[in-house]
Amino acid sequence: MTGEIGQLALCLALALSFVMAVSGIAGSRSGAASAQAVASGAASGLLVFIGLAFGALTYASIVSDFSLLNVAQNSHTLKPLIYKISGVWGNHEGSMLLWVLVLAIYSAAIAWSRRGGERLTSAALGVQGILAVAFLLFILFTSNPFVRLDPAPFEGAGLNPLLQDFGLAVHPPMLYAGYVGLSAAFAYAAAALITKERDWVRAARPFMLTAWIALTLGIALGSWWAYYELGWGGFWFWDPVENASLMPWLVATALLHSALATERTGAFRSWTLLLAIAAFSLSLIGTFLVRSGVLSSVHSFANDPERGVFILAMIVGAIGGALALFAWRAPSLEGGASFEPASRETALLLNNVFLAAAAATVFVGTLYPLALDAMTGTKISVGPPYFAITFAPIFIVLLILVPFGPRLAWRKGDLSVSLRILAPALGIALVTAVAILAFTAPRTLVGAGAFAVAAWLIVSSFIDLRARGFKVIQASALASALAHAGLGVTLIGVAGTTLWRTDALEVLGPGETMNIAGYTLRFDGVKAAHGPNYDADRATVTVLSGGQTIAVMHPEKRIFPAEGQDTVETAIRTTIVSDLYLALGDQREKGRWILRAYVNPLAPLIWLGALVMALGGVAALWSRLRVVRPVSAAVPAPAE
């Protein structure tokens, strides 16, 4: 029954999204109150029916209803409940259903908040409706999760064990909240072009912020998962799938900043529209890369060229349609005040230029190998060295410029005053660089530079807050301080882990020891262990420092019989300042195992920094939803 309910709900949702598209666009003309009301109602209905379909699939997965092909292929009776639920979006069909569910949630939020007035809301709902139609057709025709299997098998095939993990249970919904959140920004931008409404940025801002927060957390979660689950000790591999989420993040960050200027002074009006279109286009491209199977990557579990062509058509339609609309209507939205070379606007402009350039280098590095393969058949891959040469320098220059932004006034700022206020941060940054050169081994100029930039970012965020007066901290000032300081924290983690990591690899028998970075690791043997749906070889490793036992760690190798796969379960002991990271390798001779150990200095700061950035986003969102905006500001106005 659940399958039929889900199928029916999806069909009804398709009909409703069609109604929403048509009535939404019709309601974008003034005085079309009834069409506007229909579009809003359709948005609520869409959420109900897609929620119902999603609930049906989740229920089928929980009760192990293997008469559904999707459940039979991706679930197993012995799988723990949390992974039965997260398994719903751990496969292609379910994840596309999650995608439209998130789309429906954002559509309902647009309909209920009615930000920017009736006409803008209606047009935005129309655009969301068109997207919903496209995605629902995609699901129903190429990726239907409710296809029946007859006869139903007694047992399912199970879920890829790498995905049976808490971090990866939460990662996709977070990432989708980000990707699809950008659809709301896109919808408002297109709606602004349709209705010629200049004030769309203010209406769209909470959606941009929500999307950005979710994307930040989603990327951080994915990177954290890769770190502890893949057993290579790394946190970012410049894998195309990772890049696919990084590109929208870079452009969404540019959009948040550009939109500030557009909202405040009317500057960069066209550019902000273009960024909103670009950010969502990159989300679609990310979906295409991951879901079409064009990549040789751990994420491309399901692949089917038909799906790829469908998504490609959607990308072309969305980008082409939006750009055509832009070319047609953008000139009528022109206008905006002028500004001096030393001003908040210039700072935001540089921010955008550098973010766009950084995104472009990632884009080329990700798509050039695919294009080359498609055109010449030559297979190449572009690895970390490419990104170290292209992305890193651009991003470092951007980071150096960041602290000036919040200190410069709108329209006409004073660079020398800003520099004077920020001088202590510059001093601390230089001291940091000297200290790093003096006290760390191996000595690296890059490391000293990275720590100096991080100190510069963190201290100047603090100075910015203090200069505004701690007593009445505005949420928006707190937002920029947190987001910028978070960048510094992440930079410390990245630099520490990349430049000062140590690793060791040895074959150990019971009682034998190995040394790494001041720790002595004593291998105390391997015992069999059993989980709900796996068997494990569980090692015991005693960690000694200065003759004292400081920890006992248990790296594991797990074997999942249902799926016929092994996973490496790392053991990590963290002190925030450094991670001791153990991964168990193969058994060599009887009782002798390979043990791989890493010491990753400052690694936790990578994700802590992302959390701080996201908190900055939350502060900005809070200031938006709570505070009535000031009309003018004599002091340097707070950034977000």
Partner 1 sequence: MTPKQRRRIAFAGALILASAGAAALVLTALKDNVLYFYSPSDVQTKHVQPGVAFRIGGLVAPHSVHHGDNAGVTFTVTDGAAAIPVSYHGVLPALFREGQGVVALGALSDTGTFAATEVLAKHDEKYMPPEVVDALKRSGRWKEGAQ
What residues line the site for partner 1 (CB under 8 A)? 160, 231, 267-268, 271, 293, 295-298, 300-301, 336, 338-339, 341, 346, 349-350, 353-354, 356-358, 360-361, 364-365, 368-369, 378-383, 385-386, 389-390, 393-394, 505-507, 557, 563-568, 583, 585-586, 588, 594, 596
- Sign (positive/negative) of CA torsion 218, 220, 224, 229? positive
Least distance CB 603 / partner 1 (angstroms): 19
Q: How far is Cα of residue 164 from the mean position of the Cα atoms in its chain?
A: 20
Least distance CB 558 / partner 1 (angstroms): 9
Q: Which is nearer to partner 1, 210 or 361 (CB)?
A: 361
Which amino acid, residue 462?
A: F
Q: Which is nearer to partner 1, 188 or 354 (CB)?
A: 354
Least distance CB 295 / partner 1 (angstroms): 8
Calpha distance 215→253 (Å, rounded):
10
Q: Which is nearer to partner 1, 113 or 338 (CB)?
A: 338
Calpha distance 200→144 (Å, rounded):
36
Calpha distance 180→135 (Å, rounded):
12
Least distance CB 534 / partner 1 (angstroms): 12
Q: Which is nearer to partner 1, 18 or 386 (CB)?
A: 386
Least distance CB 477 / partner 1 (angstroms): 26
Calpha distance 541→520 (Å, rounded):
10
DSSP label at residue 6: H
Q: Which is nearer to partner 1, 328 or 368 (CB)?
A: 368
Q: Which is nearer to partner 1, 381 or 545 (CB)?
A: 381
Stretch (H or E) spanning 419: helix 415-439
Calpha distance 215→494 (Å, rounded):
19
Q: Which is nearer to partner 1, 440 or 587 (CB)?
A: 587
349, HSE (Cβ side, Cα atoms, 13 Å): 16
410 in Cβ contact with 343 (< 8 Å)? yes
52, HSE (Cβ side, Cα atoms, 13 Å): 18
Q: Omega of the bond prior to 305 within 30 degrees of 0, cis?
A: no
Distance in Å from the first CA to the final CA of the chain: 50
Least distance CB 292 / partner 1 (angstroms): 12
What is the secondary structure of 461-483 as a DSSP string?
HHHHHHHH-STT--HHHHHHHHH
193 in Cβ contact with 569 (< 8 Å)? no
Calpha distance 160→225 (Å, rounded):
14
Least distance CB 529 / partner 1 (angstroms): 16
Least distance CB 596 / partner 1 (angstroms): 5
Q: Which is nearer to partner 1, 396 or 550 (CB)?
A: 396
Least distance CB 167 / partner 1 (angstroms): 18
Calpha distance 348→112 (Å, rounded):
32
Least distance CB 384 / partner 1 (angstroms): 9
Q: Is 184 exposed, middle or buried (0-12, 13-18, 19+ CB in 10 A)?
A: buried
Distances (CA, A) of 206 to 203, 266, 387, 620: 7, 18, 32, 9
577 in Cβ contact with 601 (< 8 Å)? yes
Q: Which is nearer to partner 1, 329 or 411 (CB)?
A: 411
Calpha distance 169→176 (Å, rounded):
12
Least distance CB 411 / partner 1 (angstroms): 11
411 in Cβ contact with 337 (< 8 Å)? yes
Q: Which is nearer to partner 1, 356 or 608 (CB)?
A: 356
Least distance CB 122 / partner 1 (angstroms): 32
Do the bridges between strand 565-569 and strand 556-560 make them parallel or antiparallel, or are there none, so unpaired? antiparallel
Q: Which is nearer to partner 1, 80 or 564 (CB)?
A: 564
Q: Which is nearer to partner 1, 29 or 412 (CB)?
A: 412
DSSP label at residue 158: -
